[in-house]
Amino acid sequence: MSEAVIPAAVFTHPDHPSRADHGSDVPADAAVEPLPLTGERTVPGIAEENYWFRRHEIVYARLLERCTGKTVLEAGSGEGYGADMIAGVAAQVIGLDYDSSAVEHVRARYPRVEMIQGNLADLPLEDASVDVVVNFQVIEHLWDQSQFLRECLRVLRPGGELLISTPNRITFSPGRDTPLNPFHTRELNAAELTELLVDAGFEVSVMTGVHHGPGLKALDAKHGGSFIDAQIERALAGEPWPAELTADVAGVTIEDFAIFPEDIDASLDLLAIAVKPA
């Protein structure tokens, strides 16, 4: 499969998830224009991306309690949905993104988030100024991953946590030396992510993975062995999706995914909690 022909709707930046069927917890402000769909991120209102949205939403949902009452930086906050979700429990949420249009969008749509523009390789925050750094589905886009992790360590207070997720290279780009997604610079497996975190000075307290639960395994079987491939094939065809596939995608919820450490090399996405030593 050629990277050059992968349409924008197939591989999207999970920090900018679709709002399809999400509910009233995301403000519906008709006056705020949606961000353009570029392929590097997704934007609200694209029903065909609901699977990818839910696959990333579960990570926010499961780790939200670790942000309760804390000062949180979301590094690579994109569309802002996740930062706003965190703002519902945190004492303070700082969103950071390099893209000026994303920064302006978050400021207009999610006023609970203190949004700033900056480079993830040179975080514009003071040393030991936050309790938690959130970085979901971003590190695979970065050229200097080690430098970014050192910056996360710098801005965290002693004992603070980095919550990080990224696609599992083994299953996301199987059998390839380069990422399938043209917007990714380097994808990681669990051992590689652990090594990066430890080399940056973190202690890894959790390394686990996102997997399909029973409902999605049934959809895998229904759609020829891979529910993901069925979606990609239809997107590549450039034709309207069959009603049955559209309905199956729209029906996915976070409860259809499971997070557990066993068989981590078979996981879809990696999820780690790394701690700055006290």
Name the percent of the chain in helix, strand, coil, to the closest 5.
35, 20, 40
| Residue 35: per-residue pLDDT | 61
Quick one: average pLDDT of 161-172? Answer: 95
pLDDT in tens, 191-223: 999 999 999 999 999 999 999 999 999 999 999
Lowest mean pLDDT among 22-26, 48-52, 113-117: 22-26
Quick one: average pLDDT of 92-120? Answer: 95
37 vs 137, higher pLDDT: 137
Please check whether residue 256 is in contact with residue 215, taking contact to mean a CB–CB distance below 8 angstroms.
Answer: yes
| Residue 200: per-residue pLDDT | 98
92 vs 9, higher pLDDT: 92
Is it the case that residue 27 has pLDDT exceeding 50? no
100 vs 39, higher pLDDT: 100
Taking all residues of the chain, what is their mean pLDDT, rounded to a whole number?
Answer: 86
Quick one: average pLDDT of 135-143? Answer: 94
Q: Band of the pLDDT at 161, cuts 50, 70, 90?
A: very high
How many whole angstroms from its chain centre is CA 118?
Answer: 19
Q: How far apart are CA 146 and CA 219, in angstroms?
A: 38
1 burial (CB, 10 Å; 0-12 / 13-18 / 19+) is exposed
Under DSSP, is residue 224 helix (H, G, I), strand (E, B) or coil? Answer: coil
Ranges of H-type helices in 156-213: 169-172, 190-199
Q: How far apart are CA 60 and CA 66, in angstroms?
A: 10
Q: Band of the pLDDT at 21, cuts 50, 70, 90?
A: very low
Q: Band of the pLDDT at 22, cuts 50, 70, 90?
A: very low
| Residue 179: per-residue pLDDT | 82
Quick one: average pLDDT of 93-122? Answer: 94
Q: How far apart are CA 91 and CA 216, in angstroms?
A: 35
Lowest mean pLDDT among 43-52, 161-170, 198-207: 43-52
Tokens of 270: 């990696």
Residue 164 DSSP label: E
Tokens of 10: 């197939």
| Residue 49: per-residue pLDDT | 82
| Residue 173: per-residue pLDDT | 86
Quick one: average pLDDT of 68-95? Answer: 95
Q: Band of the pLDDT at 175, cuts 50, 70, 90?
A: confident
Question: What pTM value is reported for the model?
Answer: 0.85
| Residue 275: per-residue pLDDT | 98
